[in-house]
Structure 1
Amino acid sequence: MKLLLKKLNYIFPVLILIGFYACKPAKQSYTSPKGYDFNHPEKFTMPESLHEISGIAFYKGKSDTVYSIQDEEGRLFRQAWGNKKQKHAVFAKKGDYEDLAILNETFIILRSDGTLYTFPFSEATKDKVANIKEWNDILPDGEYESIYADQQTNQVYLLCKNCKEDKKEKTMSGSIFTYNPAKKELIASGNFSMDLTPLIDKGLILKTGLKASALTRDPHSGDWYILSSVNKLLVVASPDWKVKGVHRLNSSIFIQPEGLAFDNQMNLYISNEGDELSSGNILKFARKP
């Protein structure tokens, strides 16, 4: 009897371990877009003033200076890459500012309600921005977090994060404007949409949609890169908005991904808002041959 009990004392722990590993869910697989390794970024930790960093942008693709905003104050930040010391220019009162773009010599900043602010690039070095223009009610009602500006065509693309018709149609809609720098005007130039049915049917995203938090474009292929903080995904789409790839993001690396940009060396950058335990940051993914 004692011998039996002794054997059972050895057997039970083994059985428990076998049961634990049998019930343990399979390890999550994380992929990266072609040419990048999302598992090994270079991390630039933000100061407290940019704990809630949202959009990021580069002037003519030059990565030596990062321009950014955060989603509580109407301030345009600038800082050298790797240097936490920042300077800023006030462009508006407090509000929910989500993304920005630099279109040649013009800044365009997006507020979550679809309001846009435009002002000359030269104003970025001042304490308070002058010559600012505010654009209201030019977008369909909804919530917006993503803007992209095409340097060659002067076209501005805006994605809707939450729009009533999108949820019903299982699409992600967007609007296009053309910016006339001489007259400083935004001219409505069309709309577009992306079919989300395949992503929803496969359970890759929430039934309520992709919830885009940032948008940029591969300068070489023309493919769209769409970031979703809610779904923890990066979606790559063709120039005509057809899904080409879906990459799930590791939450231990991507805390709350909100900003997205390429530099002129084709390196990819993703900014993350901080949380109670981690500071905000910008992750750099070097382009691999």
Structure 2
Amino acid sequence: MPCLKKVKLLILLVFVVVFSACSKNKKNKQTCFLSENYTHFPYRINQPSRTYILSKELREISGLTYKGDHKLLCINDEQGYVFEYDIQKRKITQRIKFAKKGDFEAVEMMDNKVVALRSDGKLYFINDMSHSKSESIKVKTGLGSKNDTEGLAYDASNQTLLIACKGLAHKDSSYMDKRAIYRYSIKDSSLSKYPDILIDQGELETILNLDAYTKFSNKLLKGINPSKGNLTFQPSAIAIHPISRNIYVLGSVGKLLLVLNPQGELLAVNRLKRKIFPQPEGICFTPDGTLFISTEGKMMSGKIYQFDYKPVLKN
């Protein structure tokens, strides 16, 4: 037992050294943690540069992607519609019906095509965005409702889609305390057999220094509903940074924004303010690195926040 305690203490000390706080809130709580290999987070994540108030149609906005020409594509989790939102005009400029009602969680531009993700793991490839109604091709990925798929990102470097699971990471019990991101090959129409990236809940708990009560409350759910498990973090959206190629993973449950390198190593953990992000569900980038995050309105209007990219300037 004494040896085990020494090991746990050593692990804790490693995290204290490797991760440093980049800011603190009024209660002196750390809001951002950075790896020693990632010394600068390029966004003021709780200080948006612009805010876009959405109409009632997008109160429950659940997905977001950048189309180009100052336009975003949005999706809500009730209807089979893709909405085009013009950030200059600050309004919806087009509505495209592509499927019947369903729990749609993400939308993504894939070169010049559009694909939507449903919570049961099915993908909808939309053929034509020029009309108010478009045919779509439904594809099974191999993931299901227990996985509770919510995040979708297109990796143009190898023509694959990253799919983030809010629920069950894998049927193997050894994955119980993990969150999974799978890779789907568009060329082969096949899903990776095992998660391409794993997010360790225990690692996040240590970094965030969660109190014993929070850990205990989270772990109470284990065995009751395996698809939910630990509530420290549950992915709700995912995007690949166009310049750094780092992977940004948003979590409505946990109110966190994680940054991973392309190999899946954790670089940063950001706490999100609940007043600003009551239910963050969508994330995307423009080619110059401008970041957009959408949040459901709950009892208020849904919003899209814009964050300017502030990279480290080299001498």
Interval containing the TM-score (normalised by the shorter chain): 0.7 to 0.9
Q: What are the Cα deviations for residues 239-267 of structure 1, in whole angstroms up to 9, with x where unaligned? A: 11111111000111112100001101101
Partner SS state of residue 257, structure 2 = strand
Quote the residue 1:65 is aligned against: 71
Quote the residue 1:103 is aligned against: 110
TM-score, normalising length from structure 1?
0.81
Quote the residue 1:252 is aligned against: 275
Q: Are 1:219 and 2:264 an aligned pair?
A: no
Letter in 2 for 1:72: E
Q: Are 1:159 and 2:164 an aligned pair?
A: yes
Letter in 2 for 1:247: N
Q: What are the Cα deviations for residues 98-121 of structure 1, in whole angstroms up to 9, with x where unaligned? A: 00111112211000111110123x
Quote the residue 2:263 is aligned against: 240
Decide whether aligned partners of structure 1 residues 227 and 281 sit closer, same or farther in structure 2, where only a CA change above 3 A counts.
same
Decide whether aligned partners of structure 1 residues 279 and 27 sit closer, same or farther in structure 2, where only a CA change above 3 A counts.
farther
Quote the residue 1:16 is aligned against: none
Quote the residue 1:194 is aligned against: 198
Quote the residue 2:309 is aligned against: 287
Letter in 2 for 1:56: L
Give, in whole Å, the separation in 2 of the partners of 1:241 and 1:87: 36
- List gaps (5 residues or longer) in structure 1: 1-24
Give, in whole Å, the separation in 2 of the partners of 1:75 and 1:195: 31
Letter in 2 for 1:177: Y
Which range moves more in the overlay, 97-106 or 170-179? 170-179
Decide whether aligned partners of structure 1 residues 119 and 195 sit closer, same or farther in structure 2, where only a CA change above 3 A counts.
closer
Quote the residue 2:148 is aligned against: 143
Q: Are 1:51 and 2:56 an aligned pair?
A: no
Number of aligned residue pairs:
255
Partner SS state of residue 134, structure 2 = coil
- List gaps (5 residues or longer) in structure 2: 1-25, 34-39, 220-229
Q: Is the 8 A contact 1:160 1:172 kept in 2?
A: yes
Which is greater in Rg? 1
Quote the residue 1:267 is aligned against: 290
Q: What are the Cα deviations for residues 6-25 of structure 1, in whole angstroms up to 9, with x where unaligned? A: xxxxxxxxxxxxxxxxxxx9
Give, in whole Å, the separation in 2 of the partners of 1:282 and 1:26: 27
Quote the residue 2:46 is aligned against: 39
Letter in 1 for 2:63: G
Q: What are the Cα deviations for residues 34-90 of structure 1, in whole angstroms up to 9, with x where unaligned? A: 12112321101111111111111113xx26011010010000110211422342111
Which range moves more in the overlay, 140-149 or 110-119? 140-149
Give, in whole Å, the separation in 2 of the partners of 1:63 and 1:259: 19
TM-score, normalising length from structure 2?
0.74
Offset at residue 189 of structure 1 (A): 4.6
Offset at residue 177 of structure 1 (A): 1.6
RMSD over equivalenced CA pairs, Å: 2.3
